[in-house]
Structure 1
Amino acid sequence: MNPQQKEDIRQRYLRVDTSNVADVLDERGLLDQGLAPEFAPYPASAGRLAGWAYTIRGQMTQYPLGGDADKMAACQGLSPGEVSVWSGDGEGICYFGELIAIGMKERGCVGALVDGGVRDVRWIAGQDYPVYARYRTPVQSIGRWKVNGCQVAVSLRGATSKFVTVNPGDFILADEDGAIVIPAVHVEPVLLAAEGLTEKERLIRVELESGLSLARALEKFGHV
């Protein structure tokens, strides 16, 4: 798939809801792709997040203050249309803040999904760079939590399972209802089905606004 095709798919995903994608994944037997309800936009007005997963993994490690060269090197690998997906065991720790967000955005990264903490929320808000994370914290990672890998399979906390595996190249979608992971092999068929479901719901809303009862609308269009 060339870069333009990938961007076209990304833009189309921005027009469907995570709820419809979740329903389609259920129909395909992928029942545990939703992420934990703690994942939320920072700031609350961050908007939708959609992009191809670029994974970054870290762990709690004591080391001298002065920066995390491995974190900076990992971020250098980001490409346009990708979402940086952060995983690790750093409870209470901020994985990144404003300056790294700016650097990721400069590389064409379209947002971040963080199974951990973020800070500088007010300043990130000015970057038009959607970030979804489990919490915010002022506590920096330097000297406490260190990146130890990128573009490897990672585990993020799940909604219906303890963890959801995210592989490089999977697709990430997040909106007001939460965040969900679409495995790479399913990205295109799930999108097509979600678009069909989205159009079906649009038609139902038109009918309801015209005075049709919900019961009659469901008779006409079927279950949604």
Structure 2
Amino acid sequence: MEIITNAYPIRQFELNYDWQEIQSRYLKLYAGLVSDALEHLGYHAQCMSSGVYPLLHTMKVAGPAFTCHGIATPSRDEKIHDIRLGMFKSMTHGVVQIRDTQGDLSCGQFGEISATAAAAHGCVGAVIDGSTRDSNYLIDMNFPTFCRFRNPVEAFGRFMVVDYQIPIYVKGMDGLLRVNPGDYVFGDNDGVVIVPFEKTIEVLELAEEWFASEAKSRAEMAKGRDPFDVYSEFGRF
């Protein structure tokens, strides 16, 4: 859905589930289990490549993708800069902002003011296939932020978001990984997994089933039971 307001496009994605309920359920899981569920369903390359981790190891993120496409550019054209205004106004409650950067290394491509504006419009976290700055501010405001590295250099005049809510590519474990608006983004201290939109609920339910089995298996293993018997009974090890 696209609406033109004050010359800036507002692109909003309609979900077919309650975002708060689904988020709370995903946040009880962990990235390895979500990845395992995707593998079981035939999706073998849905993890971002190694190096994308939270600013704080306890941070987790879960929500439908709000995609942002950025490029390296020396331009200081305010018309390009103002694309961000439409971007923030397009955000809805529960989304996770995910930005491609085309491998740019020149600056910090996401910072505290961007996070503040995004959070005010319902965004619950950010995954940057590049760098952040203002890290201490992001940590202090408890805004889950995932990135590859940190860089204090200003982005304006070096890097710019030029479009949003379109399919983007980020670095994946097996080459480029496509992320569509609405795909489910899940991340913890092990990395970030992208769940195709149409598999959001199926992956969640399978992972929850395995999570319960793992809890039983873990408890029995701790008692010293024969590992073969435990695996035969619960199927997770």
| Structure-2-length-normalised TM-score | 0.88
* Change in 2 beyond 3 A, CA 1:19/1:141: same
Q: Is 1:186 matched up with 2:189?
A: no
Equivalent in 31, 34, 38 of residue 51 of structure 2? 38
Query: Which residue of the partner structure matches residue 169 of structure 1?
Result: 182
What is the percentage of aligned positions where both structures have the same residue?
Answer: 27
Query: Which residue of the partner structure matches residue 72 of structure 2?
Result: 60
- Indicate if the aligned counterparts of 1:46 and 1:128 stay in contact, CA closer than 8 A: no
Query: Which residue of the partner structure matches residue 7 of structure 2?
Result: none
1:211 offset after TM fit, Å? 2.7
1:147 offset after TM fit, Å? 1.4
SS in 1 for 2:109: strand
Q: Provide, for residues 124-143 of structure 1, a one-character-per-residue CA deviation record: whole Å limited to 9, x for no partner.
A: 11111100111111112100
Q: Provide, for residues 131-188 of structure 1, a one-character-per-residue CA deviation record: whole Å limited to 9, x for no partner.
A: 01111111121001121110000001011x1111000000000012111000000001
Query: Which residue of the partner structure matches residue 6 of structure 2?
Result: none
Query: Which residue of the partner structure matches residue 132 of structure 1?
Result: 146
Query: Which residue of the partner structure matches residue 127 of structure 2?
Result: 113
Query: Which residue of the partner structure matches residue 221 of structure 1?
Result: 234
**One-letter amino acid of the structure 2 residue matched with residue 113 of structure 1:** V
Equivalent in 15, 31, 34 of residue 18 of structure 1? 31
**For residues 201 and 36 of structure 2, what CA distance do their matches in structure 1 show?**
15
Equivalent in 59, 68, 87 of residue 47 of structure 1? 59
**One-letter amino acid of the structure 2 residue matched with residue 206 of structure 1:** A
* Number of matched pairs: 222
- Indicate if the aligned counterparts of 1:46 and 1:131 stay in contact, CA closer than 8 A: no
- Indicate if the aligned counterparts of 2:110 and 2:128 stay in contact, CA closer than 8 A: no
5+ residue gaps, structure 1, are none
**For residues 101 and 39 of structure 1, what CA distance do their matches in structure 2 show?**
18
**For residues 47 and 68 of structure 1, what CA distance do their matches in structure 2 show?**
29
* Change in 2 beyond 3 A, CA 1:127/1:181: same
RMSD of aligned residue pairs (Cα, Å): 1.8
Query: Which residue of the partner structure matches residue 199 of structure 1?
Result: 212
Query: Which residue of the partner structure matches residue 149 of structure 1?
Result: 163
